[in-house]
Structure 1
């Protein structure tokens, strides 16, 4: 075991915005005693619309912040960053778990032949989901991927607003209808952490379509790692969540409550990386 870490060291979670709250929520539900530090780069959302070099630089900026916090494990909730993880992971000394690999691991256990993936445009164009799903699967699959340029932003800014959710539903129809009704996918990977925050809406629009949320898989893989490394925090201790954002502090505090994070001990501003 790395002597820098112990059971009371925090777990880091990072994302381009509030989407990673779905991962933090899964960890709180599975490991309620853990202390979490969340970083959401709200100033630069959506990551999927940035060029790769900028994504890598912004990711390394967040990685360095969490390395300073001496996290014992880092959950890379952002699927877009997960696609360039090989260019970022050296910025932290702890193990990293990423959403794309978790999603591929989850699909590999399913008895399906045709898989759909919705994600940001960058994640779609990278082909990282089809590549990893096909590499993990024990049998031949058809993997259909769709890049959604606006969906993450719409979820980020309209969650909890009935009027705004109409725009989310319209965008979902535009992006998913063809895969569900024409291609007849048998499950859909939510390839951006913002999407599980509106999974109830997706289930309403497409009843019976199984949804794959990498957040659940990531939480399970984290528990397995902490258990075998003797880094699980004492189950009798209270958990903690401290949120840092380059975006709007009040909005992040509101969204944290809306998605059911509990506890949320603090929400603080952190200056964004300059893109000049």
Structure 2
């Protein structure tokens, strides 16, 4: 048995993808582009978003609940399409759960280093507080000093207004435009040559962010690098679904909050209206958790 699955996995099993809300759909789209034959199960924890102002204890508890649900589907691998969860919970749950779980931080750091040496990261407050991207960029560049001979610098900027505005469907609002200008200014003053979208919601803002950045600044979406890595790993594990496999089962979408609202907001990004089901996760007393 590979990875200690509770039962032998089958290539026909779907890939599990989860996020706090709409943001993980950017990873979903990358999976559809690069692995079109794979079936996907997407879960959005919309009843408890945003994750960015949650404590590490809360995030870890939420992730454990979601992974237990994913195991029961079953899925052959889980993609943690949430930078906050990747930063705060990935290493812990990789030790606890008997299935492969992939996160965004390391692929994002590697992709950023391939583009430049003065790297800005925009992310949630929780991800920025963890300094996960700075650590990963520093550690990865130190592994190969010949490849990265010049000093590598990284600045992280919290963008707390982005996720609530995106989830509210306010992508063209003046408030969002003003927030984007405010968040980018400190990074531009540092002379960044690369900007990492350190939250899966943020590629949804790419047209706006591109318009505010100098043409010389390269933009990095970690989901692209993550899916490229996943494709290699599935091949090594013998779990790639054959390209000739029948497409007789639709992709599945689940939320912990309002299915109708998620379907409405997701439709423009998916190109179709998804059928969304609600999943009730165990209730938690948030008063038991320390706030960030």
How far residue 152 of structure 1 moved from its aligned partner, in angstroms, is 1.3
Q: Which residue of 2 aligns with 1:271?
A: 280
Q: Which residue of 2 aligns with 1:241?
A: 251
Structure 2 residue matching 1:211: 3-state secondary structure: strand
2:209 aligned with 1:198: no
Q: Which residue of 1 aligns with 2:76?
A: 72
How far residue 153 of structure 1 moved from its aligned partner, in angstroms, is 1.4
CA distance in 2, matches of 1:87, 1:228: 24
1:54-69 equivalences in 2 (<5 Å): 54-69=58-73
Identify which of 144, 168, 183 aligns with 1:157. 168
Gaps of 5+ in 1: none
- Cα deviation 1:207-230 (Å, max 9, x = unaligned): 422111011011111111111222
How far residue 205 of structure 1 moved from its aligned partner, in angstroms, is 2.0
1:1-276 equivalences in 2 (<5 Å): 2=2, 4-84=8-88, 85-110=90-115, 112-137=116-141, 138=144, 139=148, 140-158=151-169, 162=172, 165-180=173-188, 182-208=189-215, 209-236=217-244, 237-238=246-247, 240-260=250-270, 264=274, 266-276=275-285
Structure 2 residue matching 1:118: 3-state secondary structure: strand
Mark the CA change 1:248 to 1:118 in structure 2 (over 3 Å): closer, same or farther.
same
Structure 1 residue matching 2:168: 3-state secondary structure: helix
Gaps of 5+ in 2: 286-292
- Cα deviation 1:56-91 (Å, max 9, x = unaligned): 101111111101112111110111111121222245
CA distance in 2, matches of 1:87, 1:7: 26
How far residue 96 of structure 1 moved from its aligned partner, in angstroms, is 1.2
Instruction: Check conservation: 2:50, 2:163, Cα contact below 8 A.
Output: yes
How far residue 261 of structure 1 moved from its aligned partner, in angstroms, is 5.4
CA distance in 2, matches of 1:31, 1:96: 17
Report the count of equivalent residues.
270
Point out 4+ residue stretches in structure 1 off by more than 6 angstroms: none
Between Structure 1 and Structure 2, whose CA radius of gyration is higher? Answer: 2
CA distance in 2, matches of 1:32, 1:101: 24
CA distance in 1, matches of 2:41, 2:78: 9
Instruction: Check conservation: 1:113, 1:141, Cα contact below 8 A.
Output: yes
CA distance in 1, matches of 2:164, 2:277: 21
State TM-score, norm by structure 2.
Answer: 0.87
CA distance in 1, matches of 2:213, 2:240: 38
How far residue 99 of structure 1 moved from its aligned partner, in angstroms, is 1.0
State TM-score, norm by structure 1.
Answer: 0.92
How far residue 106 of structure 1 moved from its aligned partner, in angstroms, is 1.1
- Provide the alpha-carbon RMSD of the alignment: 1.8
How far residue 108 of structure 1 moved from its aligned partner, in angstroms, is 2.9
